[in-house]
Amino acid sequence: MALFSKGGVPLDEVKQLKAQGLSDNQIIDELKGKGHSLAQINDALAQAAIAGPEAPMGTVPPPPHPAEAGMPPEAPMAAAVSPSELPEELHGRIEEIAESIIDEKWDLLVEEVKKIIDWKDKVEEDIGRLNTDVEKLKEDFRELHQGVLGKLESYDSRMTEVGTELKAVGKVFREVVPEFVENVKELKSITKVVKKKKS
């Protein structure tokens, strides 16, 4: 039935392996080894089940083409896949295929979720490290600020002391300079007198 064999689905191989008496699991293993995907294999198994058991070669002629039989092309397909006429074994097989596809997709989803969780853990770790660094910087800045303020207070108190000393020196100069000027004047007059006596 080449009608069902499309898009890389290994329907003919499935039929041959079934004719050899292999179970579905053995067929899956065999076709996986040949590079077919699980979805292709499951499609082929489902189509083989819908098509029914393979007749031995040479005993039954192939069914006529739908156009030759006078039926529209859609009729055989619709009849073959009608849910009310599907055998119980086919229902079970479809359930198995659905479960295997769901399991495969679920495993992929779990892997992606694990990657997201790993990324989240790494980001949280980086944020924790950044928070620690920021706290340390704050502490260092606080200590530096206190050190600078301490130095400024020390300089301020020293400048106050220097100002006080300068005021004291200024006061001394105010008191001493007039007397010093007087002494210089007196010394000048004495010098003049001495010079006159010599001459």
Instruction: Report pLDDT digits (tens) over 7-19.
Output: 577 888 888 888 8
Place of tokens 């596809």: 101
Tokens encoding 191 = 């010098």
Does the model's pTM come out above 0.75?
no
Residue range 123-151: mean pLDDT, rounded: 91
Q: Share the mean pLDDT of the chain.
A: 77
User: Which pairs count as long-range contacts for 37-43, CB under 8 Å and 24+ apart, including other chains?
Assistant: 38/100, 38/101, 38/104, 39/101, 40/7, 40/8, 40/9, 40/10, 41/10, 41/14, 42/97, 42/100, 42/101, 43/9
Predicted local distance difference test score (pLDDT) of residue 68? 45
Place of tokens 């606080």: 142
Predicted local distance difference test score (pLDDT) of residue 87? 64
In this predicted model, what pLDDT tens digit does every residue of 62-114 receive, in sequence order?
A: 454 444 444 444 434 434 444 554 567 777 888 888 898 998 899 999 999 99
Measure the CA–CA gap between 193 and 197, rounded to whole angstroms: 6
Alpha helices (runs of H) in the chain, residue ranges in sequence order: 11-19, 24-33, 38-51, 66-69, 74-80, 88-198
Residue 66 CA from chain centroid, whole number: 56
